Amino acid sequence: MLPPMQSGRATFEGYVTNRLINFYVRRSTALGLPIVEHAYISLTGKIGPKQLGIYDDAQIPGLTKLAQSIHALGTPIVIQITHAGGVANKKVIGTTPAGPSARGKNRKLEKTELEKIAGDFALAAERAVRAGFDGVELHGAHGYLLNQFFSPLFNKREDEFGGSLENRMQFPLMVVEKVRDVLKGKLLLYRLGSDDLAPKGTQIEDTVAFAVKLEQAGVDIVDVSGGMCGSEPKQLRRIKGYFIPQAYEIKKAIKVPVIGVGGITEAKHADSLVRDGKVDLVAVGRAFWKDSQWAEKALKTLKT
């Protein structure tokens, strides 16, 4: 699989460009499933200037062209949808970023705003369906809004959306349910921040419990990543398959397929992770970015 990787190829308003389409077309022959980079569901959830957007119906034609170009190769396609919450870029969004709790100069989201954001996630998912995507992935990792609610590092709320593990799962589960309802049988993936890599952050036992809830709520595939600021934590950089141990723990607790990722560059390694039952699917990011022929070469390597 190709994991979502922000390519910085959209317009400043978040519209699809031919350059963005070509990035995916070049990588989608011999590929199981590409997940298109994180697309922001509303203007206040944006982080990068040329980030892809899915916040307006006017974006549907461009997204349709992207989905059709990949389908023409016989490959399915899913898009990741996101809200950056407290880590949104103030300069880019033109207002104070808001997350589960006030943090630095950022403010806390009111309960009424949570309903609105969950609704925006559902509208974005609907747009993905209308554009012909085979599903959506909710971005619940790398310190973005859904992850901020789950993580005790970001979430200091004292209402029903914060505090206990149960409460910290509430908002992400509310979003899952709203999105599930509009998908009309298309795939729902959840990218799960499995480990904050910090002593007071999310621990794997909590994430396993969360993954069980996600499965019960109708998530079809759990994509296991981690780390709060960026997805290539320095302390794990040298390890090949650095989030595989967390993915394996989660796989043991649920029945739906689990994706593993992190520092995987070799076809034989990827193949062995599936054969050994560690994960069901393997995502290769940076190696695939560098070499658009990665999947075709991998097939050849595994056939010899």
Ligand X SMILES: Cc1cc2nc3c(=O)[nH]c(=O)nc-3n(C[C@H](O)[C@H](O)[C@H](O)COP(=O)(O)O)c2cc1C
Binding site for ligand X (CB under 6 A): 3-6, 37-38, 80, 139, 141-142, 191, 225, 231-232, 261-264, 284-286
- Three-state DSSP at 285 gives coil
Residue 241 C-beta: closest distance to ligand X, Å: 9
Of residues 34 and 162, the one with the C-beta less far from ligand X: 34
Nearest residue (CB) to ligand X, 194 versus 225: 225
Where do the DSSP E strands lie in the chain?
35-40, 78-82, 98-99, 107-108, 135-140, 187-193, 221-225, 258-260, 281-282
- Min dist CB 9 to ligand X, Å, is 11
In the bound state with ligand X, the residue whose beta carbon lies nearer, of 170 and 225, is: 225
CB of 237 to ligand X, least distance (A): 9
Distance, in Å, from the CA atom of 62 to the CA atom of 7, rounded to the nearest integer, reads 16
Q: Which residue is nearest to ligand X (CB)?
A: 285
Is residue 115 within 8 Å of 73, Cβ to Cβ?
Answer: no
144 catalytic per annotation? yes
Burial of 304 from C-beta contacts in 10 A (0-12 / 13-18 / 19+): exposed
Shortest Cβ 283–ligand X spacing (Å): 6
The residue to which tokens 């959506």 are assigned: 136
Cα separation, 16 vs 9, in Å, equals 8
Tell the smallest beta-carbon distance from residue 149 to ligand X (Å).
Answer: 16
With a CB cutoff of 8 Å and minimum separation 6, the contacts of 118 are 171, 174, 175, 178
- Judged by beta carbon, residue 46 or residue 139, the one nearer ligand X is 139
Q: Are the CB atoms for 160 and 170 separated by under 8 Å?
A: yes
Closest CA to 33 of 288, 303, 207: 288
Classify each residue of 140-177 as buried b or exposed e, where b means 16 or more C-beta atoms within 10 Å of its C-beta: bbbbbbbbbbbbbbbbebeeebbeebebbbbbbbbbbe
Query: Is the Cβ of residue 38 or residue 157 nearer to ligand X in the bound state?
Result: 38
Q: Which is nearer to ligand X, 43 or 287 (CB)?
A: 287
Query: Which of 40, 55, 144, 248 is an active site residue?
Result: 144
Beta bridge partners of 2: 34
3-state secondary structure of 187: strand
Query: Could you say which DSSP state residue 253 is in?
Result: H
Distance in Å, CB of 166 to ligand X, minimum: 25
Give the active site residues: 144
